[in-house]
Structure 1
Amino acid sequence: MIAIIDYGAGNLKNVKHALNLLGIESTITDKPGDLSTADGLILPGVGAFGEAMNRLRDKGFVEAIRSEAGNGKPLLGICLGMQLLFDKSYEHGEHHGLGLISGEIKRFETKLKVPHMGWNQIVVSEHFQEHNMAKGLNDGDYVYFVHSLFAKTNDRNDVLFSTEYDQTFTSAVMRNNIIGMQFHPEKSSTVGMQLLKNFGEMVTRERISSN
């Protein structure tokens, strides 16, 4: 069972619908206590970083997420949910995040249109080419983005995918059991479904190995 975290700032139903289509069991929960009994976690999100962190704190999710991720439970952050995994963001001031991935969230400085919205390509980092999370993917595959800020990682080994938008930016991250996708896999057609399938298989492997 994958717990989709409901803290009032997420695209929950579309994520759950995509998992349903894949036959992956999931539940939407606004109770931090439910995270301990789940096999994997998804942290979605749309909106502003600071407000999202306030909501996570108010609902008691911050320590629950850190604890479960620290114990090795698979965690997937989507869009704003990916950004929340990082140390801090400079969106409308400086705000501290979950601190699960080392780095910062910064605004695009470009003459191109911001937000970066629509379909764009991903490139799989060389050190993740043979990883299970990249199974079924090819460099140049298209996924769907909507964002005005991007992640600047402190460790290049955490970069799962990169994307070009007037500059090269990190479009997905992975550190052990923690994964973040700046794009929306649930809106990214067959490529996005493959990624969610890969995550579901990761959750299953972790559940079997821990039993």
Structure 2
Amino acid sequence: ALVSGDACSLSVEQGVEARLGTRLFPHYGSRETVFGGAVTCPAHEGMHLRENHMIAEIVDEEGNVLPRGEYGELVITTIGMAAMPLIRYRTGDYTRIFKEPCPCKSPLLRIDRVTRKGPGAEILKLDEALFGLDGLVDFHAKYAGSAVEILALTLAEPAQAEIEAAARRALPEVEVRVTARKCTRSDRPLYPGKRSLENAEAL
């Protein structure tokens, strides 16, 4: 199964693989790069870059190129995009380019799992922590002042204390408030679009 469209936490990948009985192949891309970016191979040790479509570099906060193996921001230069070419486009995504060859023997470079720094990082931490809990179907998180409020939907009667504890471990620097309830047939996905930790004042 190919996974794309939004960041997928390791806990979600493992849960889906266990239920489907098949491996997932995460795909990295973006609208700016016409979605083509990198895809996981059968070795499942990173994602191979589509080097015929783009040039990828890893840079520090000042834009200096980092050696392979070091983590930093992924910047992209597109190849063959005449309408909107990108030159060292800063994606805001945080990863590294492996310096070792892939066990699958492909000569294409590989990037590690992609995360975020700054805005967008918190929701990925919550995804990893909460979707690893048995019975959690979905959750929505938003800022309410300096606190983070979370609505969680569960298959059975909610274990609110367990959800709160996991959320606080993921975001130890902020106050976390959790409301949990059992999911019903009328419930819809709590994020109709891209997942993010929203500002309550902007809703």
Same fold by TM-score, threshold 0.5 exceeded?
no
Between structures 1 and 2, the one with greater helix share:
1
TM range (shorter): under 0.3
**RCO comparison, higher one (Cα < 8 Å, 6+):** 1
TM-score (norm 2): 0.27
TM-score (norm 1): 0.26
